[in-house]
Amino acid sequence: MPAGTIAPRDWASHPPYIYPDYKSTVLRGPKHPLVPLRHTLSELTGPVYGHESVRPLDSDLTKNGARSGEPLGERIIVAGRVLDEAGRPVRNTLIEVWQANAAGRYIHKADQHDAPLDPNFFGGGRCVTDEAGRYRFMTVKPGAYPWPNHHNAWRPNHIHFSLFGPTIATRLVTQMYFPGDPLLALDPIFLSAPEGARDRMVSTFSLDVTESGYALGYIFDIVLRGPAETPMETGR
């Protein structure tokens, strides 16, 4: 591949824009074929952020929203690496996460389901990958929550991830799931990703990442672009 270009997105790794079992995609998915645009300098560079504004506490969701104590729930560590299509580390790249609290509730006016907010949990965090492409978040395990897609629909435990990578064309928004969750087999958002790619969104429990007496550890590696790319989400 010529220098300064990136691999085309491998659509076999991603959900279709319209997936009828996930009802709102029918309304918002494009009805016409996409028009490919040739990459120019603006897609192959940036974005560049003021990384100095990312503070160490931003990656600790058990502390960045604390007002009078610690958030309730099972403390967990989520760590991993961000890699490009050739398996090289993606360094110094911004990762943003957001999630429900341990009771399965977001601080958002659109989320009015019958579960308590946690006064010590904000539910958002960010960090920048290191020289080996590594990242690490401390948080609490998000609860499952109901949603109105169909009767008795529940989202599996999940954490939302947004990454930019080295160029705007490597932007990825995805969700991380937990191993062994019985709701995965029932979740149209998880199932909208092609079968062979779904497991890339499921984290792995790790005793090495686990901190003795403090928090369970999960590993979630993320690949930007190429045939091994982590599937993007279609929303929610």
Catalytic annotation, residues: 106, 145, 155, 158, 160
What are 23's two structure tokens?
């009802």
b/e 185-208 (16+ beta carbons within 10 angstroms → b): eebbbbbbbeeebbebbbbeeeee
- Asked whether the beta carbons of 56 and 126 are under 8 A apart, the reply is no
DSSP state string for 21-77 = TSHHHHHHS-SS--------HHHHS-----GGG--GGGGBTTTTT-SSSPPSS-EEE
- Asked whether the beta carbons of 37 and 89 are under 8 A apart, the reply is no
